[in-house]
Each structure stands twice: as structure tokens, then as C-alpha cells.
Amino acid sequence: MFGSYFAPGHQYALAAAVLGIACAVVCWHRGQRTWALWLLTCSALCLRLFAATLDPFLNQWDECFHALVAKRMMDDPFTPALYAKGVLPTTDFWTHSHLWLHKPPFFLWQISTSLAIFGIEPWAVRIPSALWLTALVPVTYRIGRLLVDERVGWIAALLATCSYYLLELTAGAMTTDHNDAVFIAAVACSWWALLELWNGGRSRWALLAGVFSACAILTKVFVGGGVFLPWLVVVLMRRDRKAWMDLFLGATVAGGISALWFGSLAIRFPEELAAQFAFDTGHLGEVVEGHTGDATFHFEVIDQLMSPFTWWLVIPACCLLVWRLHRKEHRVFLIALFTVIHVVFAWASTKMPSFTMVLLPLYLTALATALVTLVDVMIVERYRKWVLLVAPLVLAGYFLNIEVLQHRHTLASPPKDHQQWRQQQIMAMPILSQLARMIPDHSKSVVYHVPALHNIQFMFTTGIEATDQMPHEADVERLRKLGYKVYAVQDGEPYDRFPNGVLLIKDEDLRFPDVGRPE
């Protein structure tokens, strides 16, 4: 269908989303604003669910780790763990640890709940991201409307609906995946609540801003409290008692909720928490895990994740947005967030693509403002409405980057260049199932030397403890005394490298594919 490598069900989902977007645009053109926003939000949900079901496997790196930790939290939601305690050898590093404090638990709790409801499936891991990034669409609309006007809010929401980057986060195919998906949406919700408060809202908006900020802090810590920076500056400018009370309310809620979690960790696992804090803050002064780049890295990321837009379009658009704002607090809000986030992460030694993409709703608002301004200046009044009907649709179509999605989430026949990684994942799925069938007692068995990262996928699917490490004689003896059967996958290693007592699964019986093998 349609000359695509997408499965028919995915093609139907895309067609339904496109039809919904078209109907939403028609409703907007006719002045039916509420219907238009509902249709756009439903279309966004359709696209997110499309993305959530693209890959039948857990993506490597981060998604498989998040999924396994969330699965274990189904049994103990307040003790995030990667490997079971006291079974396989572990280290203090986050890829091979028992206690897993690498990320706070808010998004993991949601994945855990989704797994409990829908079952142990890769697509179930992605449902919370799909829901949060769907909610981001009306939130982006409201942010744009509060800052500028409803035309800007609508165009920004349309672009958010069709964002390729947000779909990749939903699919778990982007670095830090669901962590950033929930984080971006929670931070945007805190900004929205603050803008509603400044728009004459009651103190309940301060309470809501604190709640959403706590959600963000419990997802990715530091930037999650960013809403309080412009908020504090504006309160200092106003010197108003109610403004101080609202700020105190929001900060107390955010700090109190966050303190419940981090305080419990400080009591239960003080050394591990201190080590994780040192690791996190180490991103500022040293390059962690090879994630490096120069001071322009996060500008260049815009070109990659917001194509066809580029940083030399987005940054001037942000400046235009600041210039067009009439309210002083709105200018403070944007200048503080744009400046601090970009300066901090430009200075930080560790660079990762999504560090500054928390600004995406504001980037989209800025681009929408630039488009509306350009049309108002360049197009005569009788044609403006039609241009603002068609131009955003065209941009949204390009913003979806459907060919890139197809290349990353399907296999051509024969596979194209750079698709070997996906080919390897697809080929490994039946091998992992075969390995599980070769082990009769799942609860009292362990498997050594499963290829790197496939061991994480294997533990998620089967519940059998597995590691990518070679077995050592002392560990084998200890495990056998505990009643475990110790298996090992040969995977090209000579027989004499495996100690006595190991049940060796030989290459002639089971062999993982070599194409696209992770290093």
C-alpha cells in the first residue's frame, strides 16, 4: 500500500492521522476552535501510537534498561533495580548494577504501571510517552496563545503534533527516550501553569506548577526546577505579597514532593545516592561515556532533530518572539530559559542531543511567531487566512520526516545501508525465544555470555537472569550451591574458556546474528 515498507496497520494509522489533521485544519479555518484542537490532539495520539508500535523489540541502548528496571519495580516500586540482588555478579556502574539510581523514578513508575495493565510487551513500555507527548499538543497551543495569540498557538501545536523528534522519543529510538519524553512534557506543563498564573489565574495554578515541576525533577532532576528561575525574577520585580505567596506555594509543593523520594534514598542508600549525584554533576566538568562536542553542539542538534528547520532559523525566531512580546514577565520568562539552558549546556563538558530540546515547545512557538509575522508583513490581508491555512500544513508535512522514520523503523528488501542494526535486532528476536525454550526452569537458572544488551532484552522478556560477562569458576560454584543451573552461550568463544559446571549452549545449537552486532 502507498509503495511503503511500513506494515499495513501502520499505513492505516498514518492515513487516519493525516485525515484527522486535515479535518482539524478545516475546523480551525471555520472558526470551530474547540473541535479543531480536539481533532488535532486525537491525531497526535494516533501518530504517537503509530510510533510506539513501530519496533517489535526494545531499542538499545537506553530503552531496554528503562524497561527492565520498570518491570522489576512492579514487585518493588520503591527500589529500582537492574539486576537481581545476590545472583549474578554486579558492579557500581549503571549498566551492570543491582540498585539503579541512574534516573529518578517518575517515568519508570508509569512504565511499570503500563506493563502491569498491558503485559510485558515493548509497545507497553512506550504508552506513557505516547500519552505525555499527546498532552504536549494542547499545552503547546495554550503556551503560544498566552504568549502571543491563538494563531501562533495553533501553528505551534500543529508542528508539535507532527514532530519527528517527538515520535522518535515515543518509539524509544532516541537516546534517553522515555525519560526525555516525560521530562519535556512535564516541564512544558509547569511553564504552562506559570503562564496561566501570570494571566490572572488563581493560586491553584501555582500549586499545579509546583506539582508538574516535581514530576520533572523526579524524572531528570536539575532542569526540572527551571520554572522557578523566571518565576523568582518576576517576583523580585513585582515585590507583591501575593506573588511571593504563590512562589512559596509552588516551591514548597515541588520541593516537598521531591524530598520524599530523595530523602528516602538518603536514608536507605546514602552511599549509592552520593555516588550517583557525583556522576550526574560530573557531566558538567568532564566528558562522560564519550558524549562530547563543542560549544555549538546544541545549535547543530536543532538541525538534526527539527529538520527542515535549522538553528539559524530557530534562534532568530526566538529573538523575534522576545521582541514581539508586550508583557515584561513574558520577556523575562523566555530570556531566562533560553539563556540559562543554552549557556549551562554549552559550558558542560558532556553533550547529549536532548539536553536543550526541553525548549522544543518554545522553539515551535517562536517559529510560529516568525511565520505569522512574515505573513502579516508580506501578504495582503485578503490572502493571509489562506496562506496561514496552507503554509503550516506544508511545514508540518516536512517536519514529520516520514522517509527518515521509514528508513529507521522498517527494512527494505534487501536492507539498505545503515539498516544493519535493525536487521540484527529482528534476526535476534527468534534466537532469544529459542534460548528461553532451551532453559526449562526459568526461576532457578542464569545465563552467562549473552551478547551485550541482548541480555537486558532477554531478562525483560523471560525473567531469567542473564549477563554479557564470561563465567568465573567461583561464581559458578556459588550459584550451584544456591540451587541455580548455570548456562552460558558459546558465541564464538573456545570451549576451554568456560569453567566446569557450566551448561554450555554451543554455536551449532544457537548462534546470534553477526550483522550489525552492538560493540
**Is there a contact between 412 and 5 (Cβ–Cβ < 8 Å)?**
yes
Question: In a 3-state reduction of DSSP, which class is residue 237?
Answer: helix
- Minimum mean pLDDT range among 119-123, 364-368, 384-388, 512-516: 512-516
- Give dist(CA 519, CA 512) in Å, integer: 14
Per-residue pLDDT of 308-348, as tens digits, reads: 999 999 999 999 999 999 899 999 999 999 999 999 999 98
CA angle 295, 164, 138 (to 5 degrees): 100
Sorting pLDDT into bands at 50, 70 and 90, what band is 516?
A: low
Sorting pLDDT into bands at 50, 70 and 90, what band is 304?
A: very high
**Average pLDDT for residues 124-134, to the nearest whole number?**
98
Sorting pLDDT into bands at 50, 70 and 90, what band is 286?
A: confident
Task: Give yes or no for residue 519 having a pLDDT over 60.
Answer: no
Question: In a 3-state reduction of DSSP, which class is residue 481?
Answer: helix
- 69: Cβ contacts below 8 Å, ≥ 6 apart: 80, 81, 82, 100, 108
Per-residue pLDDT of 182-235, as tens digits, reads: 999 999 999 999 999 999 878 999 999 999 999 999 999 878 999 999 999 999
Dihedral sign for Cα 233, 236, 242, 248, please.
positive
Per-residue pLDDT of 83-115, as tens digits, reads: 999 899 999 899 999 999 999 999 999 999 999
Residue 447: strand pairing partners:
466, 487
- Give dist(CA 46, CA 15) in Å, integer: 10
Report residue 34 CA to chain centroid gap: 28
The predicted structure's pLDDT at residue 482: 94
- Give dist(CA 124, CA 122) in Å, integer: 5
Closest CA to 110 of 138, 75, 139, 74: 74
The predicted structure's pLDDT at residue 517: 59
Task: Give yes or no for residue 35 having a pLDDT over 80.
Answer: yes
- The grid cell for 135 is 498532552
- Minimum mean pLDDT range among 76-80, 250-254, 492-496: 492-496
Sorting pLDDT into bands at 50, 70 and 90, what band is 349?
A: confident
**Average pLDDT for residues 173-182, to the nearest whole number?**
92
The predicted structure's pLDDT at residue 413: 66
The predicted structure's pLDDT at residue 400: 94
Q: What share of the chain is helix, strand, coil (3-state, %, to 5)?
A: 65, 5, 30
Task: Give yes or no for residue 458 having a pLDDT over 90.
Answer: yes
Task: Give yes or no for residue 269 having a pLDDT over 80.
Answer: yes
- From the number of C-beta atoms within 10 Å of its C-beta (0-12, 13-18, 19+), residue 111 rates as buried
Task: Give yes or no for residue 430 having a pLDDT over 90.
Answer: yes
Category of 145 on φ-ψ map: left (φ > 0), alpha (ψ -120 to 50) or beta: alpha
The predicted structure's pLDDT at residue 353: 87
Category of 456 on φ-ψ map: left (φ > 0), alpha (ψ -120 to 50) or beta: alpha
| Secondary structure of 90-137 in HEC code, one letter for each residue | CCCCCCCCCECCCCCCHHHHHHHHHHHHHCCCHHHHCHHHHHHHHHHH
Q: What is the pTM of this model?
A: 0.94
Task: Give yes or no for residue 418 having a pLDDT over 90.
Answer: no
**Is there a contact between 212 and 136 (Cβ–Cβ < 8 Å)?**
no
**Residue with the larger pLDDT of the pair 286 and 73:** 73
Task: Give yes or no for residue 518 having a pLDDT over 60.
Answer: no
Task: Give yes or no for residue 159 having a pLDDT over 70.
Answer: yes
The predicted structure's pLDDT at residue 515: 65
Sorting pLDDT into bands at 50, 70 and 90, what band is 240?
A: confident
- Give dist(CA 50, CA 405) in Å, integer: 11
| pLDDT, the chain, mean | 93
**How many percent of the chain have pLDDT more than 90?**
80
- Minimum mean pLDDT range among 46-55, 174-183, 210-219, 284-293: 284-293
